[in-house]
Structure 1
Amino acid sequence: MKPFIYLDHAATSWPKPPEVLQAMQKAMEEAAANPGRGSHQMAVKASRVLFEGRKALSQLFQVRNQNDIIFTYNTTEALNLAIKGLLQPGDRVVATMVEHNSVRRPLEYLKRVAGVQVDYIPVNGQGQLDMARLKAALEQRPKLVVSTHSSNLLGSLLPIAEIGELARRYGAVFLVDAAQSAGCLEIDVSAMNIDLLAFPGHKGLLGPQGTGGLYISPTVELEPLLHGGTGSQSEEKEQPTIRPDRYEAGTPNTPGIAGLKAGVDQVLKLTPRRIYEHEWELTQRIMEGLQSIAEIRILGPEAGQPRTGIVSFVSTERDSSEIAFKLDREYGIAVRAGMHCTPLAHEAVDTLQTGAVRISVGVNTTREEADAAIDAVREICSKLS
């Protein structure tokens, strides 16, 4: 593949650290057996891979008991486990208008088949949550509050600690979607009153695709999403009651988890704070450059305000998909255009009909790459349609 500039880190981070690739290869060579299903040496090594992975994630998220970390294949599976495993017919849920479809679609499914009531709290044009509306909704005593930590369209940060405190006050379980924040924002599940934390391995944690997880507070019990073999309590006809086995039926992605652990190690070494500062500096640089283009409207927080490494924009003259296509084919710059699986967020910023172009930076993105993207968008917009 010829060299190109990769600015789609909000979807999947790339390139992966060499340590991730090395860890995965080592797992395939030395720990390729089924963890927890045998007592021979290779099975024990495979179990050790999972143990070390949970340990690293527990350190990152300040989790006291690593067995409360459940491995999944992505954030979507983790969110489905949390939502479908908790809610019962007739329950009430409070969510936000910037939720990804991985939250909205399970909620709408339960709304249709189980009469679950869902309130979506609006945000303003900068992606800031209407806290007065949130408090009013919480007075209805919902069973669950769901919030993304950062909008995957706007890059805006939601006040997770404040929402968590309110959820606790009103007796609701608090679920956080950390798809865009894990790895670049500091997360302390206890300090933030987070009961359920869904996270991907393949984005800010620098791991491979097919990895992710869910933190489940010891005070919360979920119905398993999958039922099957776990290697424990095999004589029982029901799923095991112990964690993490209860929620991890079937053979896990051991090589992937080895890579995820290596990615988390790199995040811990760099620190989420430094990663955030790097990405924030680049987003401000990109915003400043794009603001000089008359036909471009940038979405989300204004310049100088907190945001994750996402800059989405629309053109008054050109289709978003056309801009992304030209960036890829003519300039070798990978971005994403479209609805970004978050239609309510588009509705909030009046881009439901147009979609948006999303530039998203990562830990390895350089100033030169950011400048190249700005120059390319400027050149595209200067050409006659």
Structure 2
Amino acid sequence: MIYFDNAATTLHKPDCVKGAVLQALDAMGNSGRGVHDASLYAGRTIYRAREALAKLLGVGAPENVVFTANATESLNLAISGLFQPGDHVITTVCEHNSVLRPLYRLQGVELSFLPIKRRTEVEAVGTGADRVKDTGILAYNELESLLRPNTKALIITHASNLTGNITDLERAAAFAKKHSLLLIVDAAQTAGAVPIDMERMGIDVLCFTGHKGLYGPQGTGGVCVRPGLSIRPLKVGGSGIHSFDREHPSEMPAALEAGTLNGHGIAGLGAAACWLLETGVEQIRAREQTLLRRFVDGVKEVEGVTLYGNPDLDRRTGIQSLNIRDYDSARVADWLYEDYGIAVRGGAHCAPLMHEALGTREQGAVRFSFSYFNTEAEADEAAAAVRELAEE
């Protein structure tokens, strides 16, 4: 199988990740719930993972890295814990349902959505010049028009999971700083794949998952919180400290980590973070960009193939979504796997507003997403398969 569904989860992990999980399964007790070797081993392993992730993501202190089960839990935690009735939040049409659904559920909180650029606003670039509406580039110049007196935050993805477009976080952060807004970033598609420095980039809350670009196990993720910012806990309960207090501890990270952590998964995530620091996120990004360019070069001139995303591939992650003629995207994904052994993702990708903006609500899109562990030969095979399907 040729696996190009890495935006959903990276299938191939570094060997150190597997080794760390296996070692933890044999040796790990419950962190913070004892003074014996198994418990201390768990605590030290989890703390080392915090340190590695803090360094990787530019977080001020390890205790401001809070572990969760995934980016969905991270975003639910941040969104439910920072807003109250009467607040107004700006977000974008690029967002995943992990942002949209928690926002929709808030009672008494108003929402505004930053759209993508209209056809007349997008410069003609390369082969995408005749399909500029398909670029999915955000209309950043409309941010000011969305501002209200009660606006509290800008919630924005670092990169679309549908188009791979990388958000202009510098511009977003400047807008948020100018108007004293919280900047909450969904880094599900970029943590480990694109360099991130939370402090330098002016991010207040960074939400990530472990099983994608971080090459960690499923069931791992986290929230990085700017020092001094308080978030109401999503859940309370056991913490291993202050057991006689009726209220959950307020100290980070315990304040947002009620219950037993996924120590075995975090051991793997910590090993993955160390591997990323050693390998270099820049090197990983360069590899994925090489594969993306190779694939795009192989399909961009094919009649009947529509590409989505910024034509400037330097502003993209290793994702290319496309459609072939008017074929249903789920059917194309089935054909690619059944006839060519190529695993991709068809459908809506949990990004409903982006599909509506691109006009692909009914057809969906076929997403190819590349990993550091893919090869040029695999990218070439995928391009050849798309060409064959378009010619049928």
TM-score tier, shorter chain, comes to over 0.9
Amino acid at match of 1:12: T
Q: Does 1:177 align with 2:186?
A: yes
Match for 1:70 among 62, 66, 72? 66
Q: Aligned residue for 1:272? A: 281
State the TM-score, normalized to the length of structure 1.
0.95
Q: Counterparts of 1:99-138 in structure 2 under 5 Å?
A: 99-110=95-106, 114-124=107-117, 125=133, 126-138=135-147
Q: Does 1:44 align with 2:40?
A: yes
Q: Aligned residue for 1:213? A: 222
Closer/same/farther in 2, CA of residues 92 and 67 from structure 1, 3 Å limit: same
Greater shift in the superposed pair: 34-43 or 135-144:
135-144
Q: Does 1:191 align with 2:184?
A: no
Amino acid at match of 2:47: F
Q: Structure 1 residue 381: deviation in Å? A: 2.4
Structure 1 stretches lacking a partner, 5+ long: none
- Counterparts of 2:4 and 2:173, CA distance in 1: 32
- Counterparts of 2:319 and 2:187, CA distance in 1: 14
Q: Structure 1 residue 304: deviation in Å? A: 4.3
Q: Aligned residue for 2:154? A: 145
Amino acid at match of 1:333: I
Q: Aligned residue for 1:351? A: 360
Residues 69 and 216, structure 1, Cα contact 8 Å, conserved in 2: yes
Amino acid at match of 2:54: S
- Counterparts of 1:263 and 1:190, CA distance in 2: 22
Residues 287 and 303, structure 1, Cα contact 8 Å, conserved in 2: no
Q: Does 1:86 align with 2:82?
A: yes
- Counterparts of 1:337 and 1:198, CA distance in 2: 25
Q: SS at 1:371's partner residue?
A: helix
Greater shift in the superposed pair: 131-140 or 45-54:
131-140
Q: Structure 1 residue 269: deviation in Å? A: 1.4
Q: Aligned residue for 2:122? A: none
Match for 1:27 among 24, 29, 51? 24
Residues 148 and 176, structure 1, Cα contact 8 Å, conserved in 2: yes
Closer/same/farther in 2, CA of residues 141 and 89 from structure 1, 3 Å limit: closer
Q: Structure 1 residue 56: deviation in Å? A: 0.3
Residues 86 and 150, structure 2, Cα contact 8 Å, conserved in 1: no
Structure 2 stretches lacking a partner, 5+ long: 118-132
Q: Does 1:10 align with 2:3?
A: no
Q: Structure 1 residue 310: deviation in Å? A: 0.3
Q: Does 1:263 align with 2:272?
A: yes
Divergent runs of 4+, >4 A: none
- Counterparts of 1:157 and 1:16, CA distance in 2: 24
Residues 310 and 316, structure 2, Cα contact 8 Å, conserved in 1: yes
Closer/same/farther in 2, CA of residues 87 and 297 from structure 1, 3 Å limit: same
- Counterparts of 2:334 and 2:294, CA distance in 1: 23
Q: SS at 2:367's partner residue?
A: strand
- Counterparts of 2:313 and 2:96, CA distance in 1: 25
Q: CA RMSD in A?
A: 1.1
- Counterparts of 1:11 and 1:304, CA distance in 2: 20
